[in-house]
Amino acid sequence: MLTRRAFGDDFIWGAATSAAQSEGAWNEDGRGPSIWDTFAAQSKNLSGNNGPAKGSDFYHQYPNDIRLLGLLGFKNFRFSISWSRILPNGHGRINQKGLSFYHRLIDLCLLKGITPWCTLYHWDLPQALQDKGGWANRDIINYFEDYVHLVTNEFGDKVKHWMVLNEPTAFTGVGYFLGLHAPGKRGLSQFLPAMHHAALCQPIGEMVIRSNVPNSYVGTTYSCTGIHPHSQSVQDVQAAERMDAMLNRLFVEPAMGLGYPVKSLPVLRKVYDYFGPNDEKILPCNFDFIGLQPYTREVVSHRFIIPYLQARLIPANERSVQHTAMNWEVYPPVMREMVEKFAAYSNVKDIIITENGAAFPDQVIDGRIDDQQRQSYFVNHLKELQNCVLDGLPVKGYFVWSLTDNFEWAESYRPRFGLIYVDYEDQTRIVKDSGYWFQRFLSKTN
């Protein structure tokens, strides 16, 4: 039976958003364009109202959204800073109106008894820095360090909980290798330097936060996916190992002082072409926590013709399993699989689930969204997490993705993850039944 009490009184409950997906106001009050603004403008699927320009209008709607967050019983709010809102050119000139917005947001959270958790980078690089090569340009390390100094000096007296990067495997792999996300780059010559520079920014970000924010609680977040071979054939098992190295181990192992997983994925050896003389010593981190973002599992088969990985992900709809609007299998055991996998690293201290949720088709009927599938998803995943806590695994918190419906990257606005429904025509909000389920669950003492 799922009970709040089983998690303990100190367990952290929260909901999450990101700037690029929710804020909108892309050209207001001095904000500069990000790579997602440019990518959307150049994409047939994301042009016009399908891009991030409006989001869920959090820039203007945040007082009501924070009110609703509190109404649902959450005491923690994860959000990200838009780099281009405070530094329109990525470096140099500071946009005071951008800083003022985040001061207002943070102050309101604190006034309402809600703890702010700030993500420094959630995929929205200033376009001006991408024009210089973006994450594939080693200069990004210096730009990022300066940006983190600015943010932590500005807000560090009020914000103590920090995440350096959000899902670096995703923003480097999908944005700089596959070209499916901003900035739309492809190939190893883009991906490997971008990957390495992002990995270096993990310890650099941690170091800057600790130097500027007394009593800080510092981590970063990782996408993570259960990886299962399609069969027990040697080829499928080895394909799954390569996919696991790419999707789960690529960034956490350098942070743990283990280096890149080149033994499992030999193509990664080429990354050493981009190493500086002290990089190997710089890569390890000393995070207080790592954020895990488990949504689903993937079933992997060997496929020789696919470059580098020789592996294929078999889509959920091809396997005739229950799946979400993202075509992700609903597979609650992934929660325990990922917690156990990452807890096995000796340097991991605390684990926080910094994202978990599901997109399903939502219908407004008589002013209500009866989203039973989403409620079931949360209940079954939280049961798995509860067992992790009861078994003594170091899980300290859980954040729902997401507070509101929002811009879902290359999928535009079609998938709805929110506990709160957003009518994108007039930006009105309706709390879904899943949101009210959390309200009841979090209010219980048993």
pLDDT in tens, 283-300: 999 999 999 999 999 999
Q: If DSSP states are collapsed to H, E and C, what string results for 415-434?
A: CCCCCEEECCCCCCEEECHH
Q: For position 34, what pLDDT does the model report?
A: 98
Q: How far, in Å, are 6, 145, 321, 328 from residue 317 at the CA level?
A: 35, 43, 6, 8
Measure Cα distances from 259 to 201, 245, 262, 263 in Å: 15, 12, 8, 10
Residues 154, 163: contact at Cβ < 8 Å?
A: no
Domain positions in the chain: 5-443
The pLDDT of residue 295: 98
Q: Which residue has the tokens 């201290």?
A: 349
- Say how many CA atoms lie within 13 Å of 128 toward its Cβ: 14
The Cβ of residue 428 has, within 10 Å, a number of other Cβ atoms equal to 11
What integer pLDDT is reported at residue 33 of this predicted model? 98
Give catalytic residue positions.
167, 355
Amino acid identity, position 363 = Q
Q: Residues with Cβ < 8 Å from 234, sequence gap 6 or more?
A: none
User: Residue 234: in which H helix or E strand, if any?
Assistant: helix 234-244
Q: What is the CATH number of domain 5-443?
A: 3.20.20.80
Q: Is the pLDDT of residue 394 over 80?
A: yes
pLDDT tens-digit series, residues 149-191: 999 999 999 999 999 999 999 999 999 999 999 999 999 999 9
Pair 34, 126: CB distance under 8 Å: yes
User: How many angstroms separate the CA atoms of 92 and 90, rounded?
Assistant: 7
State pTM to two decimals. 0.98
Start-to-end C-alpha separation, the chain: 11
pLDDT at 445: 74
Tell me which amino acid residue 271 is: V
Q: Is 80 helix (H, G, I), strand (E, B) or coil?
A: strand
Q: Using the predicted structure, report yes or no on whether residue 358 has a pLDDT greater than 80.
A: yes
For residue 70, pLDDT over 80 is answered with yes
* Span 234-275, pLDDT tens digits: 999 999 999 999 999 999 999 999 999 999 999 999 999 999
Nearest Cα residue to 34 out of 157, 121, 160, 164: 121
Q: What pLDDT does 35 receive? A: 98
Mean pLDDT of the region 337-347 = 98
Distance CA 314, CA 300 (A): 6
